[in-house]
């Protein structure tokens, strides 16, 4: 016992005081639409269809960039001839809808086929920046409630599970935020679902959702959980994104998302649940 205490004193405190302070070395790609010429090279290189260039009439094109489907492979950075795509360093990426994770830019096309940037469509609901600002205010204040989480693997490669496990280690220590993992959905406030939902797990996920008491919250983790990822949607073996089976309240994109992003998403979900509890008590 004495040797354990001695080793602990020598090791010191490993937990990061502010796990959200350090920026990840690579996040999601960001497109500088003003430099983009809508050449379609990035969309062709994207393995998941996260970037799509589609016609919107004879003299107009739309370029869509979805973080929900992005696996952060960086192929688009290499393919872009104009170097209009750069890497971000942000982990505050949790969103309430898939639309929040998508940016759409329009381009005017002249007779010679040259594209000129026209503008970016407005996002429905609060932007990711606004959501992140609210979260920072929440973290600085006092967390009034705890959150009990049941994790469900609906068909993951286990990459997301490794990052979820990291949130409970001494470095990130999610329990200091009042977040605890539980063994049964009947004891859970929130379902943390990973992977594309396979056909064999579809019924199991529905039953787990039904067993979770109201007001339950569902969080989809990773590109597969948010959009189907590389596996797509509606295939012979995969239903696809989690929201194809059960309602999703918060999306945490990434392949896999870093522990900071998962913590960020869980705290966003905690705020969502408290708002729902308050509405139910009125």
Chain-centroid distance of CA 111 in Å reads 40
Residue 70 is predicted with a pLDDT of 94
**Over residues 266-274, mean pLDDT:** 79
Q: Is the pLDDT of residue 13 over 90?
A: no
| Helix (H) or strand (E) run with residue 42 in it | helix 41-45
Band of pLDDT at residue 140, cut at 50, 70 and 90 = very low
Which segment of 1-15, 44-58, 236-250 scores lowest on mean pLDDT?
1-15
Residues 6 or more apart whose CB falls under 8 angstroms from that of 26 comprise 72, 74, 87, 89
Residues 6 or more apart whose CB falls under 8 angstroms from that of 280 comprise 214, 215
Residue 61: Cβ within 10 Å count: 18
CA torsion sign, 178 to 181 to 187 to 188?
Answer: positive
Which string of DSSP letters, residue by residue, matches 187-218?
G-SEEEEES-EEHHHHHHHHHHHHHSPSS-EE
- Indicate the average pLDDT of the chain: 85
In CATH, what number does 128-281 get? 3.40.50.12280
- Helix, strand, coil percentages in the chain from 3-state DSSP, rounded to 5: 35, 20, 45
CA-to-CA distance for 60 and 108, rounded, in angstroms?
5
Residue 190 is predicted with a pLDDT of 94
CA-to-CA distance for 160 and 151, rounded, in angstroms?
11
Band of pLDDT at residue 134, cut at 50, 70 and 90 = low
Q: Is the pLDDT of residue 75 over 60?
A: yes
Q: Which CATH number fits domain 29-90+100-120: 3.30.70.3270, 3.40.470.10, 2.40.10.500, 3.90.1010.10?
A: 3.30.70.3270
**The two domains 29-90+100-120 and 128-281 share their CATH topology (first three levels equal):** no
**Over residues 115-134, mean pLDDT:** 67
Residue 220 is predicted with a pLDDT of 97
Q: Where are the domains of the chain?
A: 29-90+100-120, 128-281
- List pLDDT tens digits, range 81-114: 999 999 888 778 888 888 889 999 999 998 888 8
Band of pLDDT at residue 1, cut at 50, 70 and 90 = confident
């Amino acid at each position: 016992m004495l040797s354990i205490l001695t080793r602990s004193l020598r090791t010191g405190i490993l937990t990061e005081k502010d796990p959200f302070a350090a920026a990840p070395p690579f996040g999601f790609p960001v497109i500088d639409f003003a430099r983009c010429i809508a050449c379609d090279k990035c969309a062709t290189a994207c393995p998941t269809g996260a970037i799509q260039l589609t016609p919107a009439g004879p003299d107009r094109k739309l370029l869509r960039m979805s973080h929900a489907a992005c696996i952060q492979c960086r192929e688009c950075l290499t393919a872009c001839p104009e170097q209009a795509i750069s890497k971000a360093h942000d982990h505050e990426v949790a969103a309430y809808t898939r639309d929040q994770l998508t940016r759409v830019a329009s381009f005017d096309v002249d007779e010679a086929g040259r594209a000129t940037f026209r503008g970016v469509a407005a996002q429905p609901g609060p932007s990711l920046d606004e959501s992140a600002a609210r979260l920072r205010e929440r973290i600085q204040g006092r967390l009034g409630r705890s959150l009990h989480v049941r994790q469900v693997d609906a068909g993951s490669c286990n990459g997301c599970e490794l990052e979820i496990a990291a949130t409970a280690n001494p470095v990130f220590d999610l329990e200091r935020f009042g977040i605890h993992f539980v063994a049964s959905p009947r004891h859970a406030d929130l379902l943390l679902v990973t992977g594309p939902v396979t056909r064999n797990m579809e019924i199991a996920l529905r039953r787990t959702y039904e067993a979770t008491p109201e007001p339950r919250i569902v969080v989809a983790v990773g590109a597969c959980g948010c959009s189907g990822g590389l596996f797509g949607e509606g295939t012979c073996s995969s239903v696809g994104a989690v929201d194809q089976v059960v309602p999703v309240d918060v999306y945490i994109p990434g392949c896999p998302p870093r522990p900071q992003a998962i913590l960020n998403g869980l705290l966003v979900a905690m705020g969502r649940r408290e708002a729902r509890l308050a509405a139910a008590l009125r």
